[in-house]
């Protein structure tokens, strides 16, 4: 049997180097495609993945108004998956995964994309209707969990003491440019039961009419991942004059 | 003798110095060395009294100027083809190793073949009829084929209603019947795209809803789920069912079951509006589309 194999191997057709090259490249391409599909067709950048998500959901390409960086979680991040966004006032805000928000004339789409070591994997997308006014919506892509979001307070007076301030992230779009302060009161349905509780909210100007809002409770209770509830929003200019007030239910995705 | 060997080695080194791809250089050098050995052996066979040293010198002289030969060899042996060949070998090896790693790490198998799922209503037409009689109408029904429908192109995806059947009760239904439907449409919807990495979003089947020309809406599975706080059940109010029948890297075939409220309904529109999309696929139930 061994001799048979040896003879068969010796009788195999001999290819020139050019043909061997072609054979190897074809095999490499087929194998590469298999591998690419094996891992769910990851793309080189998270933004490319976001654009692909738009196409897959039959949406036209939106104009990006908010995105977290592909890399760079900063030194204080709780996880390598977290991405840091710096507000105009210098506050460093951390969000789980790469986030994108884009707008079209009638709607806004948000998506989070998981950024891997070399490639960006799959993500989930949601859309909300725009009506010309300030639009507040949860920065969440699933009904099952709220993405991790926090800012870090470092106290160097006692060595280096880190306090992580977790919050439920919301994005506020279409905010007039003259807005200097956002006041928001939120009431959200709780994780367990039907209880609706008030939340405190901090807001950070990210520029371009985009604000990040963090809702939190001192007792650390969490809302239901469905993020149902109501809000009252007040926007003030630099003289602290009320520019706009809006109240309503937290919108459901389209 | 040692000097002569050195001379031969020097000659060989000079002759192959212009070949930049190292494996080629080594192979050509070995071939030239074999030629030299042959020539030397020939000389010794023809002139048995010739000293080996002289045979070597003569053999080298017969081979010509190593620099001229080297230039010719360098012209023939292009380095890029060798490097590319070596690169292709590395690529093949890496792909095989990565595929093994992927297989062992439990990654999802690729979508390179056709995946099929059984129809929810049964494989045979009589099974489907029985299911519809049982869960939608509660009475005997008859069928007629759906007219041929046109394809819809939307944002790079093609939607085609491939075949379909309209089911109606045989007898007039009682006024106080439990289910309000007067027709049921069963169709297969083929969606095609051009790139394997851009299949239609997986939520399509769960988010597909419908409206008819009588102003009635039919909830998607997801809408119903969100509104009813419960999993939908067959035969319940105004719900469209959509499930995947077959999937390939470039297409997906869905089965759509839509119980329709009125017998007079002439057209329904299948709608996908998730995230702000605005897809509308008209389905004519009777006559020409």
* Chain B contact set for A120 (CB, 8 A): none
Cβ atoms < 10 Å from Cβ of A204: 21
**Whole-Å CA distances, A78 to A32, A83, A164, A235, B273:** 34, 10, 9, 32, 37
Residue B135 clears pLDDT 80, i.e. is over it: no
Most confident of A54-63, A109-118, A228-237, B208-217: A54-63
Cβ separation B91–A52 shorter than 8 A:
no
Q: Are A188 and A197 in contact (CB under 8 A)?
A: yes
Cβ separation A31–B99 shorter than 8 A:
yes
Tell me phi and psi for residue A106, to 5 degrees: -105, -15
Cβ atoms < 10 Å from Cβ of B21: 18
pLDDT of residue B4: 47
Residue B274 clears pLDDT 70, i.e. is over it: yes
Q: How far apart are CA B39 and CA B45, in angstroms?
A: 10
Residue B176 clears pLDDT 90, i.e. is over it: no
Residue B75 clears pLDDT 60, i.e. is over it: yes
Give B114's DSSP letter: -
**CA dihedral for B135, B136, B137, B143, sign (positive or negative):** negative
Domain covering B115-284 in this structure, CATH number: 2.60.40
Which helix or strand (DSSP H or E) is residue B80 part of? helix B79-104
pLDDT range class, residue B2, cuts 50, 70, 90: very low
Which two three-digit tokens encode residue A36?
Answer: 């690419």
pLDDT of residue B80: 81
Chain B nearest C-alpha distance from A242 (Å): 32
Residue B249 clears pLDDT 60, i.e. is over it: yes
Please name the residue of chain B whose CA is at the shortest distance from the CA of residue A37. Answer: B110
Within 8 A by CB and 6+ apart from A222, the residues are A146, A168, A190, A191
Cβ atoms < 10 Å from Cβ of B100: 10
Cβ separation B92–A31 shorter than 8 A:
yes
Of B82, B89, B92, B88, residue with least CA distance to B26: B82
Of B204, B225, B218, B214, residue with least CA distance to B259: B218
ipTM over 0.85: no
Chain A nearest C-alpha distance from B282 (Å): 17
Most confident of A248-252, B70-74, B253-257, B285-289: B253-257
Mapping DSSP to helix (H, G, I), strand (E, B) and coil, where does residue A12 land? coil
pLDDT of residue B170: 75
Of A60, A68, A223, A53, residue with least CA distance to A126: A53
pLDDT range class, residue B71, cuts 50, 70, 90: confident
Angle between helices B52-63 and B22-46 (to 10 degrees): 130
Mean pLDDT of B1-16: 71
| Full domain range(s) for residue A82 | 46-249
Q: In this structure, is residue A70 part of a structural domain?
A: yes
Instruction: Of B94-98, B151-155, B186-190, give the lowest mean pLDDT range.
Output: B94-98
Q: In this structure, is residue A30 part of a structural domain?
A: no
Q: How far apart are CA A166 and CA A150, in angstroms?
A: 4
Which of B96, B102, B275 is opposite residue A38, by nearest beta carbon? B102
pLDDT of residue B1: 40
pLDDT of residue A194: 75
pLDDT of residue A60: 92
Residue ranges of chain B assigned to CATH 2.60.40: 115-284
Reported as a single tens digit per residue, the pLDDT across A132-185 is 889 998 888 777 778 888 888 888 887 778 888 888 899 999 898 889 999 998
Q: In this structure, is residue A37 part of a structural domain?
A: no
Residues on A contacting B at a C-beta cutoff of 8 Å: 17-18, 20-21, 24-25, 27-28, 31-41, 43, 52-53, 55-60, 104, 106-107, 109, 125-127, 129, 253-254
* Chain A contact set for B111 (CB, 8 A): 37
Cβ separation B91–A253 shorter than 8 A:
no
pLDDT of residue B3: 42
pLDDT range class, residue A193, cuts 50, 70, 90: low
Q: How far apart are CA A196 and CA A203, in angstroms?
A: 21
pLDDT range class, residue B236, cuts 50, 70, 90: low
pLDDT of residue A56: 93
Q: Is A138 exposed, middle or buried (0-12, 13-18, 19+ CB in 10 A)?
A: buried
Residue B122 clears pLDDT 80, i.e. is over it: no
Q: How far apart are CA A155 and CA B29, in angstroms?
A: 71
Q: How far apart are CA B273 and CA A225, in angstroms?
A: 23
* Chain B contact set for A37 (CB, 8 A): 110-112, 196-197, 249
pLDDT of residue B5: 47
Reported as a single tens digit per residue, the pLDDT across A25-80 is 888 888 888 778 777 788 888 889 999 999 999 999 999 999 988 776 677 777 77
Residue B267 clears pLDDT 50, i.e. is over it: yes
Structurally, chain A folds into a number of domains equal to 1
Higher per-residue confidence, A225 vs A235: A235
For residues B199-216, one letter each, b for 16 or more C-beta atoms within 10 angstroms of the residue's C-beta and e for the rest, the string is: bbbebbbbbbbbebeeee
Q: How far apart are CA B127 and CA B244, in angstroms?
A: 18
Mean pLDDT of A227-241: 88
Give B201's DSSP letter: P
């Amino acid at each position: 049997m061994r001799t048979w194999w040896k003879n068969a191997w010796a009788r195999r057709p001999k290819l020139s180097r050019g043909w061997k090259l072609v054979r190897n490249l074809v095999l490499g391409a087929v194998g590469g495609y298999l591998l690419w599909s094996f891992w769910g067709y990851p793309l080189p950048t998270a933004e490319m993945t976001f654009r692909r998500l738009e196409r897959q959901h039959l949406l036209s390409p939106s104009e990006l108004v908010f995105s977290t960086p592909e890399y760079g979680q900063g030194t204080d991040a709780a996880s390598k998956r977290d991405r840091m966004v710096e507000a105009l006032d210098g506050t460093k805000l951390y969000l789980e995964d790469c986030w994108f928000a884009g707008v079209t004339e009638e709607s806004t789409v948000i998506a989070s994309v998981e950024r891997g070591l070399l490639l960006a994997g799959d993500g989930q997308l949601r859309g909300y209707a725009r009506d010309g006014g300030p639009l507040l919506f949860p920065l969440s892509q699933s009904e099952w969990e709220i993405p991790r979001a926090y800012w870090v307070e470092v106290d160097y007076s006692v060595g280096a003491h880190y306090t992580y301030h977790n919050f439920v992230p919301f994005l506020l779009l279409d905010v007039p440019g003259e807005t200097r302060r956002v006041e928001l009161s939120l009431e959200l349905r709780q994780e367990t039961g039907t209880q609706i509780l008030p939340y405190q909210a901090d807001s950070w100007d990210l520029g371009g009419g985009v604000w990040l809002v963090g809702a939190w409770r001192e007792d650390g209770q969490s809302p239901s991942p469905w993020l149902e509830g109501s809000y009252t929003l007040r926007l003030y200019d630099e003289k602290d004059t009320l520019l706009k007030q809006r109240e309503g239910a937290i919108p459901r995705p389209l | 003798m040692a000097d002569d060997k050195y001379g031969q080695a020097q000659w060989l080194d000079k002759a192959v110095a212009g070949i930049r791809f190292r494996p080629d250089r080594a192979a050509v050098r070995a071939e030239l060395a074999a030629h030299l050995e042959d020539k030397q052996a020939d000389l010794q066979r023809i002139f048995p009294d010739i000293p080996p040293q002289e045979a070597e010198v003569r053999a080298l002289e017969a081979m010509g100027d190593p620099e001229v030969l080297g230039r010719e060899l360098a012209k023939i042996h292009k380095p890029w083809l060798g490097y590319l060949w070596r690169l292709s070998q590395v690529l093949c090896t890496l792909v095989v190793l990565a595929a093994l790693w992927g297989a062992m790490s439990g990654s999802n198998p690729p979508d390179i073949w056709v995946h099929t799922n059984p129809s929810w209503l049964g494989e045979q037409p009589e099974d489907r009829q029985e299911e519809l009689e049982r869960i939608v109408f509660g009475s005997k029904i008859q069928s007629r084929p759906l007219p041929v429908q046109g394809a819809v192109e939307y944002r790079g995806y093609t939607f085609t209603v491939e075949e379909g059947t309209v089911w109606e009760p045989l007898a007039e239904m009682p006024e106080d019947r439990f289910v309000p439907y007067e027709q049921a449409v069963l169709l297969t919807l083929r969606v095609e795209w051009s790139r394997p990495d851009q299949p239609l979003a997986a939520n399509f089947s769960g988010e597909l809803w419908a409206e008819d020309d009588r102003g009635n809406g039919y909830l998607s599975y997801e809408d119903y789920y969100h509104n009813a706080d419960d999993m939908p059940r067959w035969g319940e109010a105004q719900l469209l069912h959509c499930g995947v029948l077959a999937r390939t890297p470039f297409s997906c075939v869905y089965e759509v079951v839509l119980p329709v409220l009125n017998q007079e309904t002439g057209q329904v529109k299948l709608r996908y509006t998730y995230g702000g999309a605005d897809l509308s696929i008209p389905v004519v139930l009777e006559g020409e589309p």
